[in-house]
Amino acid sequence: MRIAVTGADGFIGRYLLPILLAQGHQVAAVSRRAGHLPQPGLSWLQADLLDAGQIRQAMAEAEAECLIHLAWFVEHGRFWTAAENFAWCDATAGLLAAFNEFGGKRAVLAGTCAEYDWNYGYCVEGKTPTVPATLYGKCKDAARQFAEHFCRDNGIEWVWGRIFTPYGPGEPAGRFVPSVLSAMGRGDVLKCSHGRQFRDFLHASDVAAAFAHLAANTPATGVFNIASGEPMRLADIVAICAGLFEAVPAVEFGAVPVAEFDPLMLVGCADKLAATGWAARISIRDGLADYRIKINELKGSE
């Protein structure tokens, strides 16, 4: 299958490309940056997806049967409230229109758990209300509504994958897991929140595998949680990370205030995705242990 991937050099995209290539697909990877080297089965298309003309040109060159749209504004610390969310909502609409114009048949788009009403804690597709608390969530949900109606009206199979809490090498250093591992690796006192929040952690390679599966390995359509379905307290994640070090790291819980909109529990039901034949492969303990090794390797190469 010929598959176009936006956000191909982003956090999840870098895990996704090797999976698609290993499955034998022809991949057109879309990136704003130049200088990527092609390889068998993989071509790179340079395009700014905020430019309608460049979107159309990229889809014309891709000639893709399937689209996996991962690109969005996700700058750590800014994306929740950034005005760029509006532009990416519009860009998603323009991308789908161009994909349709050049013969696209199946669109798989990245959504977010931020679309749900966080007062419910445990989120189930089609049951938990979509009442976003943030601008990011509102714009993602608006893009989802457009995608659903546009694809149905134009005979395109559509899938919307709501990502919960991905982690793994390559994520922004300021996020929870890398900040915990880095502080412990330096021997610093780890200052964090109370740690009682429950989250749904899924390794980035499993997130990427879920998108590859939804794109090419199942005819299922609609909204799917990209989640483990397993609640993990942040304090327990800290404890697992601490167990990876010989010396017991110092941790100061409650030193960092919790954001006003931060829910105590945010976990996704993964039953619908599992029913299509997908399953996570990396346990949280194995994923964190590998993550620590990768961080050490990066330090050794500096």
Q: Are 93 and 49 in contact (CB under 8 A)?
A: no
Judgement on whether residues 147 and 195 belong to the same structural domain of the protein: no
Judgement on whether residues 181 and 68 belong to the same structural domain of the protein: no
* pLDDT reading at 255 higher than 70: yes
d(CA 170, CA 114): 22
DSSP, collapsed to helix, strand or coil, labels residue 14 as helix
| pLDDT of 301 | 46
The count of structural domains within the chain is 2
Judgement on whether residues 287 and 154 belong to the same structural domain of the protein: no
Q: Are 194 and 258 in contact (CB under 8 A)?
A: yes
Judgement on whether residues 155 and 99 belong to the same structural domain of the protein: yes
Judgement on whether residues 88 and 137 belong to the same structural domain of the protein: yes
DSSP, collapsed to helix, strand or coil, labels residue 139 as helix
d(CA 21, CA 102): 23
| pLDDT of 37 | 86
| pLDDT of 77 | 87
| pLDDT of 126 | 96
Residue type at 15 in one-letter notation: Y
Q: Are 99 and 66 in contact (CB under 8 A)?
A: no
Q: Which residues contact 300 (CB under 8 A, 6 or more apart)?
A: none
DSSP notation for 251-292: EEETSSPPPTT--SEEEE--HHHHTTT------HHHHHHHHH
Mean pLDDT of 246-257: 93
Query: Phi/psi of residue 157, each to 5°?
Result: -70, 135
Query: Phi/psi of residue 206, each to 5°?
Result: -75, -35
Judgement on whether residues 121 and 261 belong to the same structural domain of the protein: no
Judgement on whether residues 149 and 218 belong to the same structural domain of the protein: yes
d(CA 206, CA 140): 22
d(CA 68, CA 108): 5
Among candidate residues 285, 296, 234, the one with its CA nearest the CA of residue 262: 234
CATH of residue 156's domain is 3.40.50.720
Question: Domain span at residue 25?
Answer: 2-166+202-226
* pLDDT reading at 302 higher than 80: no
Length of the chain: 302
Mean pLDDT of 26-51: 94
d(CA 68, CA 120): 29
Judgement on whether residues 219 and 267 belong to the same structural domain of the protein: no
* pLDDT reading at 24 higher than 50: yes
Judgement on whether residues 118 and 188 belong to the same structural domain of the protein: no
Q: What are the tens digits of pLDDT across the range 284-301?
A: 999 999 999 987 765 544
Judgement on whether residues 53 and 137 belong to the same structural domain of the protein: yes
Q: What are the tens digits of pLDDT across the range 207-221?
A: 999 999 999 999 999
CATH of residue 292's domain is 3.90.25.10
Judgement on whether residues 206 and 195 belong to the same structural domain of the protein: no
Judgement on whether residues 25 and 144 belong to the same structural domain of the protein: yes
Instruction: Give every strand in the sheet of 157-163, ordered side by side.
Output: 42-46, 26-31, 2-6, 66-69, 106-112, 157-163, 222-226
